[in-house]
């Protein structure tokens, strides 16, 4: 109770402010050191979080542990086959991959016209309107790896479409605008795809950062694509998603080695199968973001400690300059606890004020960065923030350090003997 009385005593705070006024310049410079430390922590960790949020936004519609695998040309002779052979992925490879690699969660064989073959796509006609668009042959499982946002009233390809080889399609936003009137509902209507009538079952929303796809793409059942373009069991590429806890780099290597065994390719051939590992890239990005956050923590804490030590030095100087005053107070009956609490309180107050101003300045800078990057959809950056728990934690650390550093000048003040203080001039 006595300690609380000292803390809330008006005279205590008058003495604290009086001490600060006597050393205005030194105090301000020292406080700026602490302020700069918390500012660096807030600004750097918030900026790292903005980068993290930006990449999560870019990849929010694709499984983070996903990859794409396709066949290329062999570069090593093997089992009587010459260099330069083109292995062909097959639909049967799906089961072999599942059997050999338990870490695979989803796998979607995909075919496409107008994406890599240079054909420009398929001719699509409705009434007097026509256009050329890329067309994909897909399984429903593809949407478990890469989300397809379908407008109300529509749907994506389902298993019944595959089994019955239905002539149904999901068109893109641009396809709808170019083939249908503005007030016309496309779902349920028919369009001609390479002279074959398909019923529109959905319109997909274009998602930026969705890989090869665009707002004009058309999706049909894989089995229907196979029949329409006579592709047999051929597959252009596999889209694969591993389980969240799997090592996506190891899964990629296992997939390639399995395909090499199936298609009689040398295990040492690094060119026979190509891949793009989105999971690996995302892992690197997350690692960079975490590194930035950790760096901001280290730099911020180091700067804060340096600033807090400066506050301790200021208080030591203050105690030395107030030796006579402190001696008189002791002679008049001030207890060591009262003197100690006042010095510690001054240290905590300066640290707290510096911390609050540093947080405000950091929040202001992050707000400016957020406003400047709000409309930059082509750059993976958004909402640079710092969790409130991190801010409060940093402030608590600062107050703790301020208390600890305040013990040194406080003990120096307590050690002053009244008779010695009164002798000093």
pLDDT digit string, tens, across residues 31-85: 887 788 888 888 888 887 887 777 777 676 777 889 999 999 999 999 888 999 9
Q: What distance in Å separates the CA atoms of residue 291 and residue 299, rounded to the nearest whole number?
A: 12
The residue written with tokens 């075919």 in the block is 111
Tell whether the torsion through CA atoms of 400, 401, 402 and 405 is positive or negative.
Answer: positive
Domain ranges of the chain: 2-59+283-423, 67-278
Report residues of the chain scoring pLDDT below 70.
Answer: 1-9, 11-12, 58, 60, 118, 207-212, 318, 321-334, 376-380, 416-425
pLDDT at site 214: 79
**3-class DSSP state for residue 110?**
strand
> pTM above the 0.75 mark?
no
DSSP element (H, E) containing 248: helix 248-262
**3-class DSSP state for residue 258?**
helix
Q: What distance in Å separates the CA atoms of residue 201 and residue 185, rounded to the nearest whole number?
A: 11
**β 190-193/273-277 pair status:** unpaired
Residue pair 45/293 in contact by the 8 Å Cβ criterion: yes
pLDDT digits (tens, 9 = 90+) for 356-400: 888 899 889 888 888 887 776 666 677 788 888 878 888 888 888
Number of continuous H segments (helices) and E segments (strands) in the chain: 14, 11
pLDDT at site 1: 46
pLDDT at site 234: 95
pLDDT at site 420: 59
């Amino acid at each position: 109770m006595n300690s609380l009385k000292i803390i809330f005593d008006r005279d205590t705070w008058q003495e604290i402010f009086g001490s600060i006024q006597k050393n205005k310049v030194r105090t301000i410079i020292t406080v700026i050191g602490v302020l700069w430390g918390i500012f660096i922590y807030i600004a750097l960790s918030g900026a790292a979080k903005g980068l993290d949020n930006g990449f999560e936004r870019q990849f929010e519609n694709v499984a983070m542990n996903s990859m794409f695998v396709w066949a290329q040309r062999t570069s090593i002779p093997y089992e009587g086959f010459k260099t330069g052979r083109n292995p062909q992925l097959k639909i049967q490879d799906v089961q072999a991959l599942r059997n050999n690699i338990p870490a695979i969660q989803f796998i979607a064989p995909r075919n496409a016209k107008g994406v890599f073959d240079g054909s420009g796509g398929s001719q699509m006609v409705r009434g007097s309107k026509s256009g050329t668009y890329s067309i994909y042959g897909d399984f429903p499982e593809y949407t478990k790896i890469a989300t397809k946002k379908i407008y109300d009233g529509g749907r994506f390809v389902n298993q019944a479409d595959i089994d019955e080889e239905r002539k149904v399609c999901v068109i893109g936003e641009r396809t709808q605008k170019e083939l249908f009137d503005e007030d016309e509902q496309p779902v349920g209507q028919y369009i001609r795809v390479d002279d074959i009538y398909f019923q529109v079952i959905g319109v997909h929303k274009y998602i930026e950062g969705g890989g090869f796809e665009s707002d004009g793409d058309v999706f049909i059942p894989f089995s229907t694509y196979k029949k329409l373009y006579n592709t047999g069991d051929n597959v252009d590429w596999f889209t694969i998603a591993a389980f969240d806890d799997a090592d996506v780099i190891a899964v990629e290597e296992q997939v390639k080695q399995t395909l090499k065994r199936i298609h009689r390719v040398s295990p040492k051939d690094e060119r026979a199968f190509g891949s793009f590992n989105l999971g690996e890239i995302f892992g690197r990005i997350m690692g960079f973001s975490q590194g930035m956050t950790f760096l901001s923590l280290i730099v911020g804490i180091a700067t804060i400690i340096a600033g807090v030590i400066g506050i301790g030095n200021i208080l030591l100087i203050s105690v030395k300059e107030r030796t006579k005053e402190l001696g008189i107070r002791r002679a008049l009956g001030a207890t060591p606890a009262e003197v100690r609490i006042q010095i510690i309180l001054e240290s905590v107050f300066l640290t707290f004020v510096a911390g609050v101003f540093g947080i405000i300045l950091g929040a202001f800078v992050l707000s400016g960065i957020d406003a400047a990057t709000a409309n930059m959809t082509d750059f993976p950056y958004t909402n640079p923030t710092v969790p409130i728990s991190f801010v409060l934690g940093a402030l608590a650390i600062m107050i703790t350090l301020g208390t600890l550093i305040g013990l040194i000048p406080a003990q120096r003040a307590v050690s002053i003997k009244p008779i010695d203080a009164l002798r000093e001039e």
